[in-house]
Amino acid sequence: MSISLSGTLVLVGCGKMGGAMLEGWLKSGVRPEQVVALDPSPPPEILALLQQHHIRHNPAVATIKDAEVVLVAVKPQVMEDVLPGVASLKTSRPLVVSVAAGKTIASFARHFGADAAIIRTIPNTPAAVGRGITAMAANAHVSAAQIELARNLLSAIGEVVTVEDESLIDAVTAVSGSGPAYVFYLTECLAKAGVAMGLPVDIAMQLARATVAGSGELMRVSGLPAETLRQNVTSPKGTTYAALQVLMAEDGLAPLMEKAIDAATRRSRELAS
């Protein structure tokens, strides 16, 4: 996958997510001179990356005359402090891409203009190892070419899906944005259950981590539906079958997960209001 830019890609925020994207872009053929990084205190490893590739770091915003994309990757709680300082980039009519949870397209339009091309996205933390997934929703001012450019930029950290309605971003946040925490907690619970059955703590955790990580990789590589993979490892009346009778009961994992996703979706809506 090659990323083609005619102007400048302005990265606002070089933390874990922004830094992961920057690394992915450089590997995908983005030339260092096409990038500007705006961050007062990037992590040492990202600062070293900027210096290694001679990427423009914190130039005066007024000197950036050809912004093609402004990708905002700062924490939501500081967004309103940061955006006024980069809003002048709107004179170049760039594509504005947000990777901040809880910030609506309308909140960016207040800074970049009602006619600005804006894409709201929600990535997740596996992006740090190139195994993330990002959902994006665009407003009516985003062109087909800009959609494709955004998809290519976001593909640097994993898979990309598009949702037509911005309101669905809240459900995406609940499923994939917060989802890694559910998987990590499942790993914790699996290890604790092993300890309860007599396994040493370190061995139980090693078994749980390797099982969760390996199962995820098998699902990714095989491309088979999760249901098929589950059925493939479930022998009639065997040990897996016995455990699934508990997990798949009426009061088992499915209704509990639905309640969890509902709670996260509602909270995402509250944060965006």
Residue 33 has pLDDT above 80, yes or no: yes
Fold entry, domain 177-272: ProC C-terminal domain-like fold (1.10.3730)
For residue 1, name the pLDDT band (cuts at 50, 70, 90).
low
Q: Using alpha carbons only, how large is the chain's radius of gyration in Å?
A: 21
Mean pLDDT of the 22-37 span:
94
Encode pLDDT of 109-133 as tens digits: 999 999 999 999 999 999 989 899 9
pLDDT the model gives residue 76: 87
Task: State what percent of residues in the chain have pLDDT above 70.
Answer: 99
Cα 172 from Cα 248, distance rounded (Å): 24
For residue 101, name the pLDDT band (cuts at 50, 70, 90).
confident
> Strand 132-138 relative to strand 117-122: parallel, antiparallel, unpaired?
antiparallel
**What does the domain layout of the chain look like in residue ranges?**
8-172, 177-272
Tell me the whole-structure pTM to 2 decimals: 0.90
Task: State what percent of residues in the chain have pLDDT above 90.
Answer: 91
Mean pLDDT of the 10-21 span:
94
For residue 3, name the pLDDT band (cuts at 50, 70, 90).
confident
pLDDT the model gives residue 265: 95
For residue 273, name the pLDDT band (cuts at 50, 70, 90).
low
Q: Which residue type, as a one-letter code, is found at position 42?
A: P
Fold entry, domain 8-172: Rossmann fold (3.40.50)
